[in-house]
Structure 1
Amino acid sequence: MVTDMHDPVEAVRHFSRFYTGRINVLADRLLESEFSLPEARVIFELGHCDGMSARDLADMLGLDPGYLSRLLNGLKRRGILTRSVSEMDRRRHVLALTDAGSSALEALQAKSRAEVSAVLEPLGQDARRDLVSTLRKAEHLLGGESAAGKPVPVIRPHRVGELSWALARQAMLYEQEYGWDGGFELTLLKIGREFLEHYNPDDDCLWIAEVDDRVAGSAAVVRDGPETARLRIVYVEPDARGLGLGHKLVGACIDFARSRGYREMVLSTYSMLTAARRVYEVAGFTLYAEEDEQAYGQYLTAQHWRRDLA
């Protein structure tokens, strides 16, 4: 059969057949695992965003609630996930991966990375950059607007110059929103300098949230001990709030830390930053210490949070 590649419909269908065959997603079990593609996608989402309900998953994945309920019950029977009452809202039931589910997620991600790496192996650096650029453009053209009319964000590694941008924007926003003085900017500059001086891609990362080709937020992971990662430089632009960027950025950091073998992640924040604290709570962090201090022209309560990654 001859395909008319000048017809946009046929061109998209042709590429879909090519790529699904290349990465073998049509097999009964994904990546030679015990899971189907929908099951693996549910495991992936639960591993990157704690505190989700079945309704949240149905809306995110566009799945029929009845079909999703059967799928979740199957995973629960196999010991992959649990369903419990939310501590923050007793009317809400939340889903979470068990230890077996977390192990399954790690295995799926390792196999997926290995498979895609094998696909990319024949390509040189220039070809890979062209491919990434083309994929981003395709995603923007085909899915740049969600069903609700909101732009779809991209979470990606940082590029040269974006750390300085993120630090400057956070300093400006905190002065505008909370009245923090220049002392906070000095603290951010020290954090940025330490990141650049000690940056090791095997240990550290800076994730950038991009919306409509512009920086809309950031979050970083740095080594804080032999088995401890620290979460830093978390911020989201005001006009990009409501897109779940905070959850996505923190989830990407947790995923990175796990992939590098960290056993726990810690962070420090202030009690007045209620939106950020909500993100940390949903991501599974727990408060373990706090103290009052005077900083940035304010009387603040510093808080220290921890999450087990084992």
Structure 2
Amino acid sequence: MNTTIKEFRSFNRFYTQFVGLLNKRLLESPLSLAEGRVLYEIGATPTSSAADLSQLLGMDKGQLSRILAGLRKRELIERQTGPGGRTPLPLALTPDGEKLLHDLNQMADAQAHHLLRHLDHPDLQRLQEAIQTMRSVLGAREEHTSPQKSPRLRTAQAGELGWIITQHGEIYAQEYGFSDKFEEYVVAGVAAYLNKKDAGSNVWIAEYENKPVGSIAIVKDSSQESQLRWFLVQPHARRLGIGKALMEQAITFSRQAGYAKTFLWTIAHLHSARKLYSAFGFHCVEEKEGTMGDQTVREEKWILEL
């Protein structure tokens, strides 16, 4: 045990210096590391409250309160309410906050590329396996001590594409008043996916307490592009970091599959989803007016360069 502790502490010292965490500011931004992490989590989980963030990050409430006050003073975050006042969204990014987070994500990707550029494919594989091992081993401790089970992701099983269709129909009807025409639209997309079943495509289910609570898919569009589809998290599971985990899974899969970019279509009034897309580096490249679920909507195409 003593040897492991020494190696663990030695690795922490090496890694914090290697990625520049000892610098006063994060990636030459105006934020500290702690401020940048809080900004990231608000962007990745737009429905988070201060209490949610404190629990998620294991951060002292007093320290977190000071960080949030500083971010509000800089007009990077705000408190607001959801569409129609039905769902409270205690913390959200402002347009300036979204831009800064987008810039930070771009700089972080560039830094990682610079640090790893000398590694060949076998070494990159070894590094990825080592990272996954560390997360699995250290995460097992959290599962044993947490009063709740941790959400887990897995590839969709037989019959679960039907669950995805049903959930889209129910949730979009309840939250946005869409008619069953929207469910028909989802059915058509799922049917097309099943007819092709390309190797560069996959669908994942997020599971919590042994029940499916969310989904996401990557569908091959061409040899260079993939499309992110059927991203959904049930309302009661939206403060567990599931949306963020699903997005990370989809983007990682797209990169490993060799795509140059991935894109998605969304609608303008899905505010929480749009903030999450922005937090992961997507940006809107096209807008058009359309009809969905018997409603007139503003459709948006968002792209992420991989």
Return the TM-score normalized by structure 1. Answer: 0.63
* Separation in structure 2 between the aligned mates of residue 207 and residue 44 of structure 1, nearest angstrom: 25
Please name the residue that 1:274 is paired with: none
1:130-186 Cα shifts (integer Å, max 9, x gaps): 11011101111112334425565677xxxxxx9xx53735236569999xxxxx988
* Separation in structure 1 between the aligned mates of residue 107 and residue 262 of structure 2, nearest angstrom: 17
Q: Which runs of 5+ in 2 are unaligned?
A: 170-185, 255-259, 276-289
Please name the residue that 1:53 is paired with: 49
Please name the residue that 1:148 is paired with: 146
Give the Å deviation of 1:72: 0.7
User: What's the % identity of the aligned pairs?
Assistant: 28
Please name the residue that 2:124 is paired with: 128
SS of match in other structure, 1:283:
helix
| Alignment partner of 2:5 out of 3, 9, 12 | 9
| Alignment partner of 2:98 out of 88, 93, 102 | 102
Q: Which runs of 5+ in 1 are unaligned?
A: 156-161, 179-183, 200-204, 268-279, 293-301
**Could you say which structure has the greater relative contact order, defined with CA pairs below 8 angstroms and 6 or more residues apart?**
2
1:29-60 Cα shifts (integer Å, max 9, x gaps): 01111100111001111221222211111111
Query: Aligned pair count?
Result: 259
Q: CA distance change for structure 1 residues 59 and 40 in 2, over 3 Å: closer, same or farther?
A: same
1:253-307 Cα shifts (integer Å, max 9, x gaps): 7999xx9696x8327xxxxxxxxxxxx674359xx85548xxxxxxxxx997856
- Which one is further off, 47-56 or 32-41? 47-56
Please name the residue that 2:273 is paired with: 283
1:63-102 pair list within 5 angstroms: 63-87=59-83, 92=88, 94-102=90-98
Give the Å deviation of 1:245: 2.5
Q: Does 1:166 align with 2:156?
A: yes
CA-atom RMSD, angstroms?
A: 4.9
Whichever of the two has the greater Rg, that structure is: 1
* Separation in structure 2 between the aligned mates of residue 252 and residue 77 of structure 1, nearest angstrom: 34
Q: CA distance change for structure 1 residues 166 and 246 in 2, over 3 Å: closer, same or farther?
A: same
Please name the residue that 1:266 is paired with: 266
SS of match in other structure, 2:78:
strand
